[in-house]
């Protein structure tokens, strides 16, 4: 059986990791390759790079970053942020990425998912969704542009459509939980798991080891993504995995 | 020198990066002369079987790889590269493969309640001890595939349990196939590539 995945996420700006990572023995706290290597040693199953470079002329920085990381780190690499075309995808995959995550650009142009899936295979195309609970409708709304702009889409319906367009995996962030350290939004992932059959990565809200256990025991998601708890050393991936094993979760 | 056969498939450069990282002398090439003179060959591959066969045929590489196999050159097929070693695939209709090993490529049955593609880290069990498969016993490695190989137990060195028992490492004399991606499986995967290098270095062992 497949192991559940623990996935750190790095925000990269102009080829540098934006939120400084606080590891012992890490000389350059902003170097994506050094950080990714450290996470590989800790037992990360995959790494997500989110390119937050704002200007288009510096877009090639992320390609150079992935090229360097892929020469030193030998595990699956997912890249998202500002990917608008199949040729953007091609450049990143050639540099060593394994999967491409699309978010706002896929909402604007769902054909991007289909074109990418046809060219590189579904397993390469991850649909990233930022979801926020709407108490008036009792549903989850989809937000784009880094969570700044609300759309008319329902997150569960958009997830189903995205899979229909060709997405091979979903990376779904709960905006309500993001940064709160109050645990993953189990209700959201239970609804998503019932709606689609592709792998789902949960993101947003993890603050302690038991949040991972709850997520994997109470939903069927395949992976858990986290950033700050790992970056600031509050949790070590190896500690999380030891506990998950004790709790009977299949872990690498 | 290891030649990584370059026929424009997805993971070629990642395989090269892993060999470079290990300090293993290697080169990407589709040149028949270089392929036949190589100490060892790696056939990478991701994507569709039929398209990959088209790419090998258009480069005139099918008889070259078959000849290298007959000459005893150690050959490692990775992921789709492993599947191409077999007689035929049933991905989008039937298509002949390189026929270097006996067996065929069939879809992973999804009615067993497993997700297809089989994507992620899964645990290998060695079924026949062999230097090339031993580093993977009980270890998790990274898989991405929707089809798998059906072949005789005499060819299977390791399997994973995914509803059916999927062969994860196969071997027939000098020809080896690995269904997962050693170039994406962390230290365990790199250890497997190192074993392939060691097998090449022991020429008496490989050229039998």
Task: Tell me the pLDDT tens digit for each residue of B106-164.
Answer: 999 987 788 888 999 999 999 999 999 999 999 999 999 999 999 999 999 999 999 99
Query: Which pLDDT score is estimated for B112?
Result: 75
> CB A2 to CB B120 under 8 A?
yes
A195 in any annotated domain: yes
Residue A148 predicted with pLDDT over 50: yes
Q: Across chain B, what does the average pLDDT equal? A: 94
Total count of domains within chain A: 1
Buried b / exposed e over A9-30, threshold 16 CB at 10 Å, is bbbbbebbbeeebebeeeeeeb
Buried b / exposed e over A218-247, threshold 16 CB at 10 Å, is ebebbbbbbbbbbbeeebebeebbebbeee
A80 in any annotated domain: yes
A94 in any annotated domain: yes
CB proximity under 8 Å: A 13-42 to B: 40
Total count of domains within chain B: 1
A252 in any annotated domain: no
What's the DSSP call for residue A16?
E
Q: What is the CATH number of the domain that holds A154?
A: 3.20.20.70
Query: Which pLDDT score is estimated for B208?
Result: 40
Q: Residues of B at the A interface (Cβ-Cβ below 8 Å)?
A: 10, 13-14, 17-18, 20-21, 46-47, 115, 117-123, 140, 142, 144, 161-162, 183-187, 189-190
Give the model's confidence band at B206: pLDDT under 50 very low, under 70 low, under 90 confident, else very high. Answer: very low
Compute how many other C-beta atoms are within 10 angstroms of the C-beta atom of residue B183: 29
What dihedral angle (degrees, nearest 10) is formed by the CA atoms of A48, A92, B176, B110? Answer: 60
> CB A74 to CB B184 under 8 A?
yes
What helix, strand, coil percent values describe chain A, rounded to 5? 40, 25, 35
Task: Tell me the pLDDT tens digit for each residue of B60-95.
Answer: 999 999 999 999 999 999 999 999 999 999 988 899
Q: What is the CATH number of the domain that holds B171?
A: 3.40.50.880
B71 CA to chain A: closest CA distance, Å? 32
Residue B181 known to be catalytic: yes
Q: Can you list the alpha helix ranges (DSSP code H) found in chain B?
A: 12-22, 32-37, 49-58, 62-70, 80-83, 186-201, 203-206
What is the residue whose two structure tokens read 């060691």?
B198
Q: Which domain does A227 fall in, by range?
A: 5-246
B168 CA to chain A: closest CA distance, Å? 13
Q: How far apart are CA A161 and CA B119, in angstroms?
A: 21
Q: Which domain does B105 fall in, by range?
A: 2-206
Residue B145 known to be catalytic: no
Residue A45 known to be catalytic: no
* Token duo for residue B56: 């090998």
| Contact between residue A112 and residue A85 where contact means Cβ atoms under 8 Å apart | yes
Query: Which pLDDT score is estimated for A200?
Result: 97
Residue B203 predicted with pLDDT over 80: no
Query: Which pLDDT score is estimated for A152?
Result: 97
Task: Tell me the pLDDT tens digit for each residue of A24-77.
Answer: 666 677 899 999 999 999 999 999 999 988 766 677 899 999 999 999 999 999
């Amino acid at each position: 059986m497949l192991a559940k995945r623990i996935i750190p996420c790095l925000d990269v700006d102009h080829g540098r990791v934006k939120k400084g990572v606080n590891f012992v023995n890490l000389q350059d706290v902003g170097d994506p390759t050094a950080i990714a290597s450290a996470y590989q040693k800790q037992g990360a199953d995959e790494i997500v790079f989110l390119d937050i470079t704002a200007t288009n002329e510096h877009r090639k920085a992320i390609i150079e970053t992935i090229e360097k990381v892929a020469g030193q780190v030998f595990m699956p690499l997912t890249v998202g942020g500002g990917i608008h075309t199949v040729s953007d995808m091609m450049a990143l995959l050639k540099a060593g990425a394994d999967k491409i995550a699309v978010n706002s650009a896929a909402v604007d142009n769902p054909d991007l998912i289909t074109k990418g899936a046809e060219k590189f295979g579904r397993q390469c195309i991850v649909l990233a969704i930022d979801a926020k609970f709407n108490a008036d409708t009792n549903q989850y709304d989809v937000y784009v542009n880094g969570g700044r702009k609300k759309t008319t889409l329902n997150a569960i319906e958009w997830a189903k459509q995205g899979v229909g367009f060709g997405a091979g995996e979903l990376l779904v962030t709960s905006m309500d939980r993001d940064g709160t350290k109050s645990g993953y939004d189990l209700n959201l992932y239970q609804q998503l798991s019932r709606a689609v059959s592709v792998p789902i990565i949960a993101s947003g809200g993890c603050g302690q080891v038991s949040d991972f256990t709850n997520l994997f025991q109470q939903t069927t998601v395949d992976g858990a993504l986290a950033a700050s708890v790992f970056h600031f050393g509050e949790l070590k991936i190896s500690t999380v995995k030891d506990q998950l094993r004790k709790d009977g979760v299949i872990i690498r | 020198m290891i030649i990584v056969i370059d026929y424009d498939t997805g993971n070629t450069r990642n395989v090269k990066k892993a060999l470079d990282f290990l300090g293993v002398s290697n080169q990407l090439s589709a040149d028949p002369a270089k392929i036949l003179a190589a100490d060892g060959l790696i056939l990478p591959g991701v994507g569709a079987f039929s398209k990959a066969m088209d790419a090998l045929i258009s480069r005139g590489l099918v008889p070259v790889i078959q000849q290298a196999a007959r000459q005893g050159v150690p050959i490692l097929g990775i992921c789709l590269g492993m599947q191409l070693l077999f007689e035929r695939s049933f991905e989008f209709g039937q298509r002949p493969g390189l026929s270097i090993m006996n067996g065929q490529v069939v879809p992973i049955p999804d009615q067993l309640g497993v997700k297809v593609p089989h994507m992620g880290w899964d645990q290998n069990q060695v079924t026949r001890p062999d230097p090339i498969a031993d580093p993977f016993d009980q270890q998790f490695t990274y898989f991405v595939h929707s089809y798998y190989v059906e072949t005789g137990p005499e060819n299977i060195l390791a399997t994973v349990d995914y509803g059916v028992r999927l062969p994860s490492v196969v071997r027939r004399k000098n020809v080896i196939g690995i269904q997962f991606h050693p170039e994406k499986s962390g230290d365990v995967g790199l250890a497997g590539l190192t074993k392939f290098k060691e097998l090449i270095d022991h020429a008496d062992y490989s050229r039998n």
